[in-house]
Amino acid sequence: MKEVCLLLLLGIFGHANGLQNNSCRYRTLAPSQNQSSITPILEKYESALLMILGFAGFSILLAIIHNSIRKYIYKDAHNLDTVFDAGGKVTLSLTAVTVTSQLLWPADFLQITTITIKSGLGGCLFFVLGIVVDILLFPILSVELKTKAPGAKTFLQIVYTRFGKPAHLVFCGIALFANLVTITALLVAGKSAISVLTKDATDEFIAFVLSVLFGSYCFLGGLGTTFYISYFNTAITFVSLIVIVVSMYFTGNINENMAKYVSTDAMYEAMSCIKSRDGNYEDSLITFRTRSGAIYGLSLFFMATSLSFIDQANWQSRIAAKPVQGVIGFFIAAVMFFCLPATIALPATLTYASMAYENGTHLLSQSEIINGYITPFVMEKVMGSTGAYLLITSITMALMSTGSGEIMAVSSIIVYDIYKVYINPFRRLLTPTTCVLCGRQKVRGKSELCNCPPSLNCTSCIKDLAKKEYTKDYAVQYTCPLHGDYRHYEDLLMHYKSWCIVWVTVAVIPFALIIYASNINLTWVIFFLQGVLSPCALPLLLAIIWARCTSSAVIVGSLIGLVGYLAANFIVSEMVYEGGISNFFINTVQDYSLLAGCVVGITLSSFGTIVTSLLTNKIKSEEDVAREWEKTISIDNPLNPWQRLYKEEFKQFPPGTKPTAAIMAKIFRSARFVAIFGGFGFVFLFLVVIPAVVMSFDVLTRDQFSSYITFCYVICFMGAVFVVVAPPAEEIYQIIKTWKSSSEKENLQKMPPEIEQSRL
């Protein structure tokens, strides 16, 4: 509520003391007649050195450091699961910066300025709120997942365990398509940034550089290094923004010819006198009352939420922490993300508007604006090579963070859900709940239950692990009669996952060249392709939280929702906008086209999933419900059981207690409480209070305009302090704590029995 109070004070101050709007007549800026208005500053070798040797080399160094920490401190570097869940105990602040980083796509540096120049301050605000509300909904879902399937490494494992192969195959296709959508957005945004800042940057050069950035460290450090990269990405982004803001507005350390364009008076005059698109209050850019901006924000919420639920990269990074730390981390991420895009968009868009207003026409062509070139154009003009380096640094780090997450997501799907299930399973399972070690059932029923002992206290396994410390041979043979063969199988999977990551990384290059040859624009990728995924989110959500959901329901709901989205989007595009469907890449991402597609697709998907579930489910009692969640609880790695992560939480139960969904719900009761009440509180703040406050103003006065800009910058400075300080401090504390605990255990093991007994 502090942010809201500050905003209210700023707004009241503006009302009381603000000057009225200029009495200028609105001017509609004519399109630019010149193509490629931006002159690249960086030489090709400079970009290559900076991104490949600099950032990729730095990421490999971080991967080596992370591997050493996992090997010598946590002692779990040899586990396959550690590659894809970073140990499962990521700290609160590191979770917060990772969520922020992976949602801060390079497109946000570019595309948000396109929305702002079209819809004004309101468009920028609603763009941000659409993603912030999406962040705030995920804590509840993450707690549900940790309660019902704590051992799952991919959400597809839940679909497979509950519904079998037909639904699993459908959602494997949907999940991989979601990864392709994200990678496509990264490739298009990366090209936009690199090509306008680098001289003679060919498509092949850009594709190779981006491929190296995405996969440079994944096969060495796994997901854990992605968290470290995300920290540096978020920290560098905040610091770069502060440098840009301070240089432009406080120190005047900019091109002298550009000084007149970055003053508050010049920006206010330009924004006051440029006519906005239809739908803004009084056709003004300096109002929050914008119909098109609100529609874009609502559509983006549907699409961002859908992509968050279906993109495996989001799941693996957001459930790598324990529930309480993860939930609080989400809330911090929402606040940090709230200030970031606005701080990116406002300096760039307002400076561009000031320059264009004096010129009388747009300085960039329509296609350049759609592709998000406003930000690099302004950075180049205002700060020269310094601005170019700052921008390409921030975008490169965002590319690395989000791109590597996608590489790991695709690899985890291939390893866990394709290779282990369909290509080369350890055991041909009779059902998804069959034990891979003994072949008996892990869920109560008519068959004999699995009774395999855990590997943690197995004497033979302890000897095998000691042998493993001294060899890197993937063909090493183990002596344990129960776990040895499966341990050997996981060693081979470790070898396979490395090659899988390499080949997925290499495949980015031809895929990028195909995308570049198609000339797809960034706006279409961001809005239309994400919208295609919107009908699939609710079936997946119900599969995780609703026991009555069935296999046929999630398939039917997803397919009819997809058909509904495409039909509604195409019909509105044809009937409402000039050129109709023939102007495909423009009209299918218009505000009403997107909104109609999302609303119809989600409505049909919800109706189809719920009705089909009610007609086809076999749940008759609470015992049936418990048995349904017993399936998902049984998802586990026999060599790395998920219970070891929660040994402190399980101390409240008698030894040998079998985990159930009810027990897990009791353990995570506090996390669920925080997620529900904190989530609703923050959603009310961002979705009701802040829009109500800002929309109470009509067209901002000069002082209100200045106050809002200052408010955004103050929040950005506060976020920067947290981002730079908190994650390394908490991570170092966690490492030292673990190291001390391990040292004490080793010392106790070395003590003579009589001394150890006396200590006890």
Which 8-state DSSP code applies to residue 618? -
Residue 441 falls within a domain, yes or no?
Answer: no
Residue 622 falls within a domain, yes or no?
Answer: no
Q: How confident is the model at residue 613 (pLDDT cuts 50, 70, 90)?
A: very high
What CA–CA distance (Å, rounded) separates 92 from 96?
6
* pLDDT for 488: 83
Tokens 């006519």, located at residue = 275
What CA–CA distance (Å, rounded) separates 470 from 409?
30
Q: Are 347 and 133 in contact (CB under 8 A)?
A: no
What CA–CA distance (Å, rounded) separates 425 from 7?
57
* pLDDT for 359: 79
Residue 66 falls within a domain, yes or no?
Answer: yes
**Average pLDDT in the chain:** 79
Angle at 393 between CA 391 and CA 397, to 5 degrees: 120
Whether pLDDT at 752 is above 70? no
* pLDDT for 319: 67
Residue 707 falls within a domain, yes or no?
Answer: yes
* pLDDT for 174: 93
User: In the structure encoding, which two tokens stand for residue 305, read together?
Assistant: 């939420």
Residue 540 falls within a domain, yes or no?
Answer: no
Number of Cβ within 10 Å of residue 640's Cβ equals 20
Whether pLDDT at 281 is above 70? yes
pLDDT in tens, 224-276: 667 777 788 788 888 888 887 777 766 655 666 676 777 777 788 888 888 77
Q: Are 613 and 542 in contact (CB under 8 A)?
A: yes
Whether pLDDT at 306 is above 70? yes
Q: Are 181 and 358 in contact (CB under 8 A)?
A: no
In whole angstroms, how far apart are CA 304 and each of 66, 127, 641, 718, 721? 31, 11, 33, 26, 27
Residue 322 falls within a domain, yes or no?
Answer: yes
Single out the residue of 528, 612, 552, 629 nearest to residue 306, CA to CA: 528
Q: How confident is the model at residue 11 (pLDDT cuts 50, 70, 90)?
A: very low
Q: Could you give the number of structural domains in the chain?
A: 1
- Residue 614 neighbours by CB under 8 Å, 6+ apart: 548
Sign of the CA dihedral 414, 416, 420, 422?
negative
What CA–CA distance (Å, rounded) separates 32 from 141?
47
pLDDT in tens, 322-380: 777 778 888 888 888 887 777 777 788 888 888 888 877 778 877 777 777 888 888 87
Whether pLDDT at 685 is above 80? yes
* pLDDT for 556: 95
* pLDDT for 758: 47
Where b means 16+ CB within 10 Å and e means fewer, 590-620 reads bbbbbbbbbbbbbebbbebbbebbeeebebe
Q: How confident is the model at residue 548 (pLDDT cuts 50, 70, 90)?
A: very high
What value does the mean pLDDT take over residues 411-434? 86
Single out the residue of 13, 45, 526 nearest to residue 299, CA to CA: 526
pLDDT in tens, 438-448: 888 888 766 77
First to last CA, the chain: 51
Whether pLDDT at 219 is above 70? no
Q: How confident is the model at residue 33 (pLDDT cuts 50, 70, 90)?
A: low
| DSSP state letters, 246-306 | IIIIII--S-GGGGGGSSHHHHHHHHHHB---TTBGGG-SSBS-BHHHHHHHHHHHHHHHH
Quote the distance between the C-alpha of residue 710 and its chain's center.
Answer: 28
Number of Cβ within 10 Å of residue 759's Cβ equals 8
Single out the residue of 227, 228, 230, 226 nearest to residue 238, CA to CA: 230
Question: φ and ψ at 290, to 5 degrees?
Answer: -130, 120
Residue 491 falls within a domain, yes or no?
Answer: yes
Whether pLDDT at 70 is above 90? no
Whether pLDDT at 589 is above 70? yes
Residue 653 falls within a domain, yes or no?
Answer: yes
Q: Are 227 and 377 in contact (CB under 8 A)?
A: no
Whether pLDDT at 718 is above 90? no
Q: How confident is the model at residue 608 (pLDDT cuts 50, 70, 90)?
A: very high
Q: Are 500 and 415 in contact (CB under 8 A)?
A: yes
What CA–CA distance (Å, rounded) separates 412 from 417?
8
User: In the structure encoding, which two tokens stand for residue 222, read together?
Assistant: 């796994």
Q: Which amino acid, one-letter code, is at 511? A: F
Single out the residue of 218, 228, 87, 160 nearest to residue 497, CA to CA: 218
- Domain that residue 367 falls in: 2-21+53-424+459-520+636-759
Single out the residue of 370, 274, 305 nearest to residue 133, CA to CA: 305
Domain CATH for 352:
1.20.1730
| Minimum mean pLDDT range among 71-85, 154-168, 528-542, 691-705 | 71-85
What CA–CA distance (Å, rounded) separates 558 from 564?
10
Q: How confident is the model at residue 19 (pLDDT cuts 50, 70, 90)?
A: very low
- Residue 356 neighbours by CB under 8 Å, 6+ apart: 29, 270, 274, 362, 363
| Minimum mean pLDDT range among 78-87, 248-257, 396-405, 524-533 | 78-87
Share of the chain above pLDDT 70, in %: 84
Tokens 């739908």, located at residue = 279
Which 8-state DSSP code applies to residue 699? B
Whether pLDDT at 667 is above 60? yes
Q: Are 376 and 193 in contact (CB under 8 A)?
A: yes
